[in-house]
Structure 1
């Protein structure tokens, strides 16, 4: 069946993430009208350890959804672009609307059905508060590549794009402007945007002009930025023994700079995964990188480590915890090629390593100085 026939004859039935209207409207690029409908003998389940559901045939079950008419060939192409990259394909099926059967196009997970593990029953009401805003932000970046890159190439970076979408959601919150210039509508004008490199990380380049302090707009300039998602660092501190746990691992950045000692002494660190809060991410990373289950996390700072060249934003914490002699060891997620050694060191040695330059990464230095400022209070408490 050709696309034109689909546009004219059959509406689309959405029961998963595209039932979230703000997401569907980003995918289609315009406002959408929908009507309730349901699909018999099918159920929706979470894909295990992922952020979306899978539609599975299940006799006697029923899936609630919506019917939406494709208003143009562009609608069809945009839906195929968004769903096709993930291996979803449209099938014409009978769905129920007002107790009458209606032929509609339903996207099925052809690839995921054979390879993905099924989790618990999926519900839109459960998914929306955790992932809804992140998916909408991700879809804006995703659809910006419509007719620019093939769908498989875009979908291959879905998890990275979703993590960036989560970063966009966190960044959209109110920020203080007591001293700096308060940005307003029209203060930044982007004439063109390019993505010359995109794998786990990405590089983006923009042709941009911005408001000058005399009120005029700057000349158009080209600027590039490393696109890293929001991340966390956490330094476990034992106030009774007055010592911390730091980790030791190989880092590509120092090596590519030409540093003869590319192993770094750091706080525990990692990316905030989609659907996580910074605190949840810090606790997960502590288990993965140090085998520690942390409870109380104290915020140190939230900041851009290098805003001139990177979009990465960090949330740093100190965790008050028990650090016996057995707490140190070698950890890391094997599937991510991590090889991480933990060191138990006294507070005095921590500060000595900062002073000598052996600790030379910003989050660990910042956290060490925060701990120096608050150490007496924490030990008294």
Structure 2
């Protein structure tokens, strides 16, 4: 008879099981090792003749509950019975989540729970409190990161209402649509300017995650790099020109800082390795309906003639073309309406306000 569930990777992290009366006991599984995925840092279980996977025996948890939480591992796993060794001696039969197909040891580095927790733990713990789906793990973790950044953000309230915990009362929260993005609908009351609470109203929001935009600028050559790609929003609106000229942009993945995301997206979308990033603004592009929060940067970088090309991740069906254009051309596009998205317009006008100073600070500038 199984005496518990053996946890070997992400699920060993106790905060994921917050609110449950469970007993963790150190244990190990022979013949395998817990390795770090070289691309994502996730925990992998790989075959190793003399391996000893460190983990925990969790008592008081049904196998079906373990399977429900398996989505947090991000892998295709199956429940199996295994023999585990207890730290205090002895062996017991336990249920464990194992890969569908045994992974061979390819010289992977060992996975470290403490290092993983320092980077990802808080986001996983937040996701674990709701319904978890393996197919949506990435977006869920990215949104959890957004919530944590929002909670930690120091928001100025010099003119607007300084909201307190009693100023919004949410009676119900529904999620009628959830895939890569989601829609949430809330029944709530909010504090009115006369001090009273409003009648109950129903409000819906489009749920996404935090994202970055970055405009590369070569101060010596006085030009920028824009990217162009097909966009679903204009297409569904009926816009006959759904290809958009934009700044480099992308979501902030789990465990990333906004600056790390900006550099990653610049490499993926334009083949650029960025160093200096100048913060321009942090903002909600459309707070009446979107949870998305943007971090916008200007990047001072070198943009030679060969910097523009075709980029994008094949696995995400991205087809992104770069354009090298002068500052004057950038402003002409903004004024003509050919640039039709807020983040790039904001960056363009910020550059216009700060361009002379940036060029004077460039040692090789002829200005």
Q: Shared fold (TM-score greater than 0.5)?
A: yes
**Are 1:329 and 2:309 matched, yes or no?**
yes
- The 5-angstrom pairing of residues 66-85 of structure 1 reads 66-70=56-60, 77-83=64-70
Q: In the alignment, is residue 43 of structure 1 matched against residue 22 of structure 2?
A: no
Q: How far apart in 2 are the matches of 1:117 and 1:271?
A: 31
Write the deviation string for residues 331-365 of structure 1: whole angstroms up to 9, x where unpaired. Answer: 22222222221111111221121111111101001
CA distance in 2, matches of 1:91, 1:222: 46
2:52 to 54, 57, 62: 62
1:11 equivalent to 2:1? Answer no
Query: 1:137 is matched with which residue: 106, 113, 126?
Result: 126
Which TM-score applies when normalising by structure 2? 0.89
Relative to 1, partners in 2 of residues 1:232 and 1:117: Cα closer, same or farther, differing over 3 Å? Answer: farther
Are the equivalent residues in 2 in contact too, given 1:55–1:108 (CA < 8 A)? no
Aligned residues: 358
Q: Contact conserved, 2:7 with 2:57, CA < 8 A, in 1?
A: yes
Which structure shows the bigger proportion of residues in helix conformation? 1
TM-score (ref. length: structure 1)? 0.86
Shift of 1:48: 4.4
Structure 1 CA distance for aligned equivalents of residues 196 and 163 of structure 2: 14
Cα distance, 1:345–1:155 mapped onto 2, change above 3 Å = same
Q: CA deviation at 1:182?
A: 2.6
After the TM superposition, which residues 279-298 of structure 1 pair with which residues of structure 2 at under 5 Å, given as runs? Answer: 279-298=259-278
Structure 2 stretches of 5 or more lacking a match? 362-367
Question: Is residue 172–residue 187 contact of structure 2 (8 Å, CA) maintained in 1?
Answer: yes
- Helix, strand or coil: the match of 1:120? coil
Please say if residues 51 and 131 of structure 1, whose CA atoms lie closer than 8 Å, have aligned partners that are also in contact. no
Query: What is the DSSP-based 3-state SS (H/G/I as helix, E as strand, rest coil) of the residue aligned with 2:131?
Result: helix
Question: How far apart, CA to CA, are the structure 2 residues paired with 1:361 and 1:17?
Answer: 39
Q: Kindly indicate whether the alpha-carbon contact (under 8 Å) linking 2:47 and 2:105 is maintained by their aligned counterparts in 1.
A: no
The CA RMSD measured in Å over matched residues stands at 2.4
Q: 1:115 & 1:236 partners in 2: Cα distance?
A: 42
Q: Residue 126 of structure 1 aligns with which residue? A: 115
Q: Which digits, 9 at most, give the CA deviation of each residue in 1:135-193, with x for residues without a partner? A: 112222335xxxxxxxxxx2221111121122222222132233322332233222222
Question: Any conservation in 1 of the 2:169–2:188 contact (CA below 8 Å)?
Answer: yes
Query: Any stretches of 5+ residues in structure 1 without a counterpart?
Result: 144-153
* Contact preservation (8 Å) 2:27, 2:54: yes
Which of 246, 253, 259 does residue 266 from structure 1 map onto? 246
SS of residue matched to 1:172: helix
Q: Spell out the pairing of 1:354-369 with structure 2 (5 A cutoff).
A: 354-369=334-349
Alignment equivalent of 1:223, drawn from 203, 207, 224: 203
